Amino acid sequence: MTSFQVWGLPGLPEIQPGDDLTAAIAAAATANGLPGLADGDVLLVTSKIVSKAEGRIIPADDREAAIDAETVRLVARRGRTRIVENRQGLVMAAAGVDASNTAPGTMLLLPQDPDASARALRDGLRRRTGAEVAVVVTDTFGRPWRNGLTDVAIGAAGLAVLDDHRGRIDSHGNLLVMTETAIADELAAAGDLAKGKTAGVPVAVVRGLARVTTTDDGPGARTLIRSAADDMFRLGTSEALRQAVTLRRTVREFTDEPVDGDAVRRAVAAAVTAPAPHHTTPWRFVLLETEAVRNKLLDAMLDAWRADLRELDGWDEQRIARRTRRGDVLRNAPYLVVPCLVADGSHDYPDKRRGAAEREMFVVAMGAAVQNLLVALTGEGYGSAWVSSTMFCRDTVRAALDLPAGWDAMGAVAVGHPAAAPAQRPVRSADNFVTVR
């Protein structure tokens, strides 16, 4: 059974910009009867003293500007509290800009490159003490879904920061396929128990775990940062919604990859949360999941379109053929949704003006539901296109899909995996669409 010791290094002086941090740590390691450093030890160094030595100190009144400068991506915001991704790739509150354990009127930024800081400390301690130690630069993090703070590794050198169990067999003979242990974070948390948050002990030593140290510096704590492609929780709620709205684009070309009907049903569940008049539920969504049904509808609509062009517009057959030969986004999509308006519960006004307004309220509710559907489909990873054509031949749609007389098709939504990334959307300023009175 593995056992190890953890102790703090008290007595370090207040670190100032430009101080030799390795000299201060080496001296503290042998003061007060402590045993000094030995090969295989792991040194856990609070990032604040590294930041002080590197001159990462700013006036406190520059906090918001500093957070802005250190931020590369907003993850979540609640009031004035921001969770962001900072320049070091860490997702944390306020980009790591911190006013604790620093002189009044000042704030600390994180080290510019915590892994480089850990390598420099390791090299300096080797030269001063002759000991081959690992170094972990730590900082305090909150954690999603868990109350309380803990120290984690933001920089590392000479340490196997991850212990990859994938491919190993557990004690019951099961193959492990996902397990990776964050050794560096576990050490950081253990060291924090010895350092304490308010005891003024910024460095701790772990002895007895030489098996997790390495002869070279290794890849550093950057390895612990999950890639964007693997991050299932990359955004906070409001930011995820905002991004889904921003990323929602009309997609007109799809791959042949099938669409998950359960994902569409989840999008419909979002759609029916839209506001509606008189506490009604005026939405129905017809899901066309088979190619045969899609073709039946689209063939009937094509026949109706040709008849309109011939009988209402007076076009000849050659011109009709040219017009209807164009590619059809609905026919090329692997999945269709036909949203229908059902005006049950609407008020019957003899006055035409009020009757028209009543109808418009239900149409607006339908539009809100369709927007919810499109945004939710984007969140599910699908592209979509809302096409109006079913509105021009509602009787045809009802007949082809065997729908009740009161169901009015409000376009059709093509759903699928985009065949290519959509073109960049031009930036639209809200100011161009706002009138203030």
Residue ranges covered by each domain of the chain: 5-56+111-230, 241-433
What is the C-alpha separation between 110 and 96, in angstroms, rounded? Answer: 6
Cα 92 to Cα 40, 143, 150, 431: the distances in Å are: 31, 9, 12, 32
Does 3.90.1280.10 match the CATH number of domain 5-56+111-230?
no
Pairing outcome for strands 42-46 and 203-207: antiparallel
Q: pLDDT 10s per residue in the chain (437 long)?
A: 579 999 999 989 999 999 999 999 999 999 988 999 999 999 999 999 999 999 999 988 878 888 999 999 888 887 788 899 999 999 999 999 988 888 888 999 999 999 999 999 999 999 999 999 999 999 999 888 899 999 999 999 999 999 876 667 777 777 765 668 899 999 999 999 999 777 789 999 999 999 999 999 999 999 999 988 888 888 777 777 777 777 788 888 999 999 999 999 999 999 999 999 999 999 999 999 999 999 999 999 999 999 999 999 999 999 988 888 766 889 999 999 999 999 888 888 888 899 889 889 999 999 999 999 999 998 888 999 999 999 999 999 999 999 999 999 999 999 999 998 877 778 888 888 999 99
Which among 392, 384, 390, 383 has a CA at the least distance from the CA of 411? 390
pLDDT of residue 176: 66
One-letter amino acid for residue 260 of the chain: D
420 HSE (CA, 13 A, CB side): 5
Residue 209 DSSP label: -
Measure the CA–CA gap between 437 and 423, rounded to whole angstroms. 36
Domains 5-56+111-230 and 241-433 equal at CATH topology level: no
Kindly provide the residue ranges of all beta strands, DSSP E only, lying in 94-182, ordered along the sequence: 106-108, 134-143, 146-157, 162-164, 180-182
pLDDT value for 310: 92
Give the per-residue pLDDT at 86: 94
CA distance 13 to 200: 10
Q: What's the pLDDT at 74? A: 87
Whether the predicted model's global pTM rises above the 0.75 cut: no
Please write down the HEC assignment for all residues of 252-300.
CCECCCCCCHHHHHHHHHHHCCCCCHHHCCCEEEEEECCHHHHHHHHHH
CATH (residue range 241-433): 3.40.109.10
